[in-house]
Amino acid sequence: MAGTDRRRTRLSGGPAIVLVEPQLGENIGTAARAMYNCGLTDLRLVKPRDGWPNKKAVAAASGADTVLDKARLYDSAEDAIADLRRVYATTARDRYMVKRILTPRFAASEMRQLVAARESCGILFGPERTGLVNEHIALAESVISMPLNPAFSSLNLAQAVLIVGYEWFAAGDETPPAQLATGHSKPATKERLIAFFEHLEEALDDSGFMRNAEKRPSMVRNLRNLFQRAQCTDQELRTLHGVVTSFVGPRKRKK
């Protein structure tokens, strides 16, 4: 999906993303893109199999160069996390360890609290084929496990980074869950809405549509409710007045 977003959200120093022995340059690139989508920029690479820097990573990052340019290279996971105070390990399989298991959403709210308290944190992701080995999981206080289809939970590396990053971003985002975008026009006042109702009902009286006097009140109510649900703007009411006029000609009566 192309484009940028007009919402304002504070981007702050989020968790480090630590890719342990990633295999494919493409996956490092798509993980960097997913990170930057979510406002994360601290990428750390532990022994990437195909060396670093990597052209395929740049091609796959689709413009998230700022993340790749700042990426740091390490010889061990221990070195990569040395400066962090809290580390999470991502796993899909149960490893039968005695360990806190968190949803990405819970971990994100915890990391927001850590970062607000100026404590550094990071998230370990394992190699594509195998995931993290148990020794690397033991470097972390907690495990993050994605709630996914139990019959098919295998995620691409960048997809795993995206879900964790998305939850991180959402935990700090103040976009209203549901809002009516009204473009360049404001929602109409009720006075203008009722003026349209009256125009429409006069026209329907004239056309004979509402000749059954007994049914008229419920018809009026139903039509009014329909247009109430549509939450029309001023601009749209002008269009609707024009639609009615185009059917029946200019209004003859005035109330």
Choice between 30 and 210, CB closer to a second copy: 30
Site string for a second copy, 44-83 (x = CB under 8 A): ------------------xxx-------------------
When binding is defined by CB under 8 A, the residue of 91, 111, 139, 237 that contacts a second copy is: 91
Q: Does 98 bind a second copy (CB under 8 A)?
A: yes
CA–CA separation, 168 and 109 (whole Å): 7
Q: Is the peptide bond before 104 cis (omega within 30 degrees of 0)?
A: no
CB of 145 to a second copy, least distance (A): 7
**Distance linking the first and last C-alpha atoms of the chain:** 51
Are residues 110 and 70 in contact, defined by beta-carbon separation less than 8 angstroms? no
Cβ distance to a second copy smaller for residue 19 or 203: 19
Counting Cβ atoms within 10 Å, is residue 167 exposed (0-12), middle (13-18) or buried (19+)? buried
Shortest Å distance, C-beta 118 to a second copy: 22
| Alpha carbon distance 116, 111 (integer Å) | 8
CB of 66 or CB of 245, closer to a second copy: 66
Residues 143 to 182: which contact a second copy by CB under 8 A?
A: 143, 145-160, 162-163, 166, 169-170, 173, 175-182
